[in-house]
Each structure stands twice: as structure tokens, then as C-alpha cells.
């Protein structure tokens, strides 16, 4: 019972000090809201980016075109060897006839192309292997295998070098976003730590006489320090509450537009299914920064 009473007094004292320094308290909560929103956004952006990259990787492949005089059985042997490479997800063989039929179906409404094809009188398309790897970064090693295992005499062209800029761009997007997110997170976290630190420092200076009285009557160190920790926790809780409201409303209105930019990624459904994970991240960031900053200020300015 005495512990419960003591905790109640600590909370009441912390709340009183938090509400008295309303200007600094609002600034502290505002900055924490920015940090929490940034952390939540990075979590969602990371998964959205991964969704986009996976979708792009599924659409990107490398095609190997074979010379007209290359027998089909030779191509199928090469196909088997390529399929055995660990980096390769799947390989599709497209014969000259299939390539021609596919072209005709895609351009059947284009009279100029169709008439030009008829006038040509022969099938201009080459047999090919469409190769899809597990990761965009793995295509280089697959191409290296094709170029250095005695197949070059049968291969007319590999379109990897035409697609290489796109493949490399896909490969770098994720790492660039992660690095940018880490830098922004670090900068805002330092700002938040400094503001909460300053808040608690001023609260300690304003409560100097009260702290002296508490010392004289034999109050424990924890009883004196507790209210200042509580202020950091209160700031974090307020920031999380505001962040959840702003974030939820923002996602509700942005979801249709994001769906147009990233087809197949329904932002609001993602937010709803990952709500508790996002809330946990927000609580850890908000309350964690509040408590850490308060603890640093207490150790520096509160000599008890």
C-alpha cells in the first residue's frame, strides 16, 4: 500500500510539473510526434518499397537469343544447365515460331507492322531463353556463366546490357531508402533528446527549493527522481496518442492515391493488419526517447 501511494504521488508531481511548463511540454510533444511519425513512416516505406521491388523483379528478366542455325536440342541442353544455377529462379524457352505468334497477337491491330511482316516472307525472330533470377543483383553472375562456358558460339545476343541500368536501379532503391531513413531518424532523435533533456533540466531548476525540502525530510532518491522520469513518459504517451490519430487519418485519405502509384499495395489494409506492430514501434520510440532524455538530465543536474 505505501508503494502505491508513493507511486501515485510521484505521478501527480510529474504531471503537475509537466502541465506547469506547458510551452516547453507542447514543444517536446510536437518533436516526439515528428520522430514517432518518421519511425512509423520508415517502417511502412520499407515494406512498400520491398513490395515494389519484388513486383519489379518479377517483371524484369534477361533474354538470351540464339543464332538461326542453332539446333533446338542445343538450346534445351543450355536451358538445363542454366536451370541448375542456384541464382536462377526459372527459365522459359521460346521457340522462333512462338516468338512470331506472340508478336502477331500483340500487334494484330497494327496494319503497317502486319503488312511489313507479310512482305518479309520469313520469320525474323530468334529462339530465346527468358531467365529470371531470385534477386536483381544475381543476373550478372548468370550472364557471366553464359559467356564463359562455351556457349558464346551459339548465342546471338544477351539483352542484359540493355536492361542493366534498370536492374541496377532496382537493386539500389532499397539500400538508398534505408540509408536515408537511418540518417533522418538519427537527426530527429538527437533533436528530440535535446528538447526533452532541456524540458527536464528546466523542471529540475524550477523545483530546486522543493527538492531541497524533500532531501531534508528524508525522501528517497527514487521519490525525488521519479516525477522527472514521469514527465518524459507523459510526453511520450501524448506524442504516441497524437501520432496514432494523425497517422491513421493520413493513411485513410492517402491510401487511394498510394494505390494508384503502387498498384496492388493497399496502404490502409496494410496499416490495419500491422496496427499493433506500428503501435509498438511508436510506444518504444516515444516513451523510450522520453525516458532516456529524462534519465540523462537527472544524472547531470539532479545530484541525489
Structure confidence by residue, pLDDT tens digits, 122-133: 788 888 988 888
User: Structural domains in the chain?
Assistant: 2-56+173-301 (no CATH), 68-153 (3.30.70.3040)
What share of the chain has pLDDT > 70, as a percent? 80
Are 240 and 36 in contact by the 8 Å Cβ rule? The answer is yes
Average pLDDT over residues 87-109: 85
Does the pLDDT at position 233 exceed 60? yes
Task: Grade residue 12 by pLDDT with cuts at 50, 70 and 90.
Answer: confident
Q: How far is CA 133 from CA 41, 47, 199, in A?
A: 30, 21, 54
Task: Grade residue 180 by pLDDT with cuts at 50, 70 and 90.
Answer: confident
Residue 164 has a pLDDT of 65
**Distance (Å, rounded) from C-alpha 277 to C-alpha 43?**
10
Does the pLDDT at position 192 exceed 50? yes
Which residue intervals of 207-220 are DSSP H helices? Answer: 208-216
Task: Grade residue 173 by pLDDT with cuts at 50, 70 and 90.
Answer: low
Average pLDDT over residues 117-140: 81
Residue 256 has a pLDDT of 83
Are 194 and 87 in contact by the 8 Å Cβ rule? The answer is no
Averaged confidence pLDDT in the chain: 78
Kindly report the pTM of this predicted structure.
Answer: 0.59
Residue 214 has a pLDDT of 63
pLDDT top residue among 121 and 279: 279
Residue 221 has a pLDDT of 67
HEC-encoded secondary structure of 92-118: EEECHHHHHHHHHHHCCCCHHHHHHHH
Amino acid at each position: 500500500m505505501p508503494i502505491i501511494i508513493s507511486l501515485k504521488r510521484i505521478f501527480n508531481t510529474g504531471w503537475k510539473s509537466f502541465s506547469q511548463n506547458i510551452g516547453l511540454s507542447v514543444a517536446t510533444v510536437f518533436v516526439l510526434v515528428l520522430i514517432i511519425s518518421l519511425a512509423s513512416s520508415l517502417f511502412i516505406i520499407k515494406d512498400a518499397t520491398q513490395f515494389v521491388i519484388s513486383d519489379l523483379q518479377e517483371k524484369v528478366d534477361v533474354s538470351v537469343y540464339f543464332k538461326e542455325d542453332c539446333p533446338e536440342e542445343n538450346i534445351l541442353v543450355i536451358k538445363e544447365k542454366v536451370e541448375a544455377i542456384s541464382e536462377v529462379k526459372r527459365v522459359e524457352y521460346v521457340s522462333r515460331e512462338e516468338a512470331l505468334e506472340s508478336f502477331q497477337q500483340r500487334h494484330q491491330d497494327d496494319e503497317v507492322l502486319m503488312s511489313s511482316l507479310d512482305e518479309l516472307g520469313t520469320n525474323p525472330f530468334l529462339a530465346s531463353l527468358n531467365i529470371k533470377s531470385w534477386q536483381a543483383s544475381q543476373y550478372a553472375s548468370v550472364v557471366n556463366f553464359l559467356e564463359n562456358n562455351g556457349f558464346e558460339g551459339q548465342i546471338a545476343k544477351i539483352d542484359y546490357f540493355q536492361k542493366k541500368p534498370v536492374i541496377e536501379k532496382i537493386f539500389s532503391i532499397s539500400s538508398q531508402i534505408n540509408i536515408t531513413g537511418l540518417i533522418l531518424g538519427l537527426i530527429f532523435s538527437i533533436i528530440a533528446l535535446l528538447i526533452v533533456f532541456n524540458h527536464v533540466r528546466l523542471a529540475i531548476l524550477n523545483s530546486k527549493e522543493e527538492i531541497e525540502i524533500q532531501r531534508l525530510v528524508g525522501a528517497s532518491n527514487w521519490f525525488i527522481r521519479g516525477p522527472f522520469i514521469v514527465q518524459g513518459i507523459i510526453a511520450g504517451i501524448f506524442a504516441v496518442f497524437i501520432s496514432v490519430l494523425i497517422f491513421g487519418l493520413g493513411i485513410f485519405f492517402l491510401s487511394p492515391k498510394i494505390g494508384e502509384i503502387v498498384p496492388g499495395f493497399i496502404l490502409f489494409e496494410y496499416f490495419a493488419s500491422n496496427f499493433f506492430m506500428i503501435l509498438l514501434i511508436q510506444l518504444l520510440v516515444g516513451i523510450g526517447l522520453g525516458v532516456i532524455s529524462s534519465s540523462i538530465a537527472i544524472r547531470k543536474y539532479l545530484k541525489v
